[in-house]
Amino acid sequence: MMSKRVRPPLTEAVEHRAGIGDVSRRIDSRAKRGLSLQPWGLDQARAAIGSSLHADDEDFAPELNVRNLVSSTAVFPAMAATDALAVACHTAQERRDTRNLHAVATLSLCRAALESASRTIWLLSPTDREERRTRCLAITKHELLQQGTAARIGDI
């Protein structure tokens, strides 16, 4: 059986000689910025009292018996985005030691972060409160339908 050759970690000097020093520095810079969002994503922030988002939640859809429906619908995908981005950033930072960028997985995580963050932006971008609430209900309905489909598949 052949043993796998262990390659030493990449160094900045090797990256420079390979002509990828600038790209590597940009990856490092972006990974550092991305990781700075991680603490926010782990904090289950609530809408500030008196804010427009807090007003969106006030007396909204009491029949659903869910508190803070608009703000929690907005915050969850933002938290998911920061988590996906943090994992992508950790992977990027480890690339020199592992000598593997895991490009497809990293880009998939970046796409997930972008799509999740986009959902929050889409939900909160209208200036009209009723439109934000309508979008919140549309997201909630879609999620419940997806959960129902998953439950039916699980019963097969």
Read off the pLDDT band of 124 (50, 70, 90): very high
H helix runs in the chain, sequence order: 12-17, 21-35, 38-42, 52-57, 69-93, 95-98, 103-124, 129-154
Q: What is the dihedral of CA 84, 99, 20, 85, to 10 degrees?
A: 0
Residue located via tokens 């998939």: 108
Q: Are the C-beta atoms of residues 70 and 60 closer than 8 Å to each other? A: yes
Q: What is the pTM of this model?
A: 0.80
Please name the residues in contact with 11: beta carbons below 8 A apart, sequence gap of 6 or more: 96
- Rounded mean pLDDT of 87-103? 87
The Cα 69–Cα 56 span in angstroms is: 9
The Cα 75–Cα 52 span in angstroms is: 14
**Structure tokens, 34:** 């991305």
Residue 1 has pLDDT above 70, yes or no: no
The Cα 118–Cα 105 span in angstroms is: 20
Residue 26 CA neighbour count, 13 Å, CB half: 4
Residue 108 has pLDDT above 90, yes or no: yes
Q: Give residue-wise pLDDT tens across range 9-67.
A: 777 787 778 787 788 888 888 889 888 988 888 777 788 899 999 999 999 999 989 99
Residue located via tokens 């000598």: 99
The Cα 114–Cα 82 span in angstroms is: 10
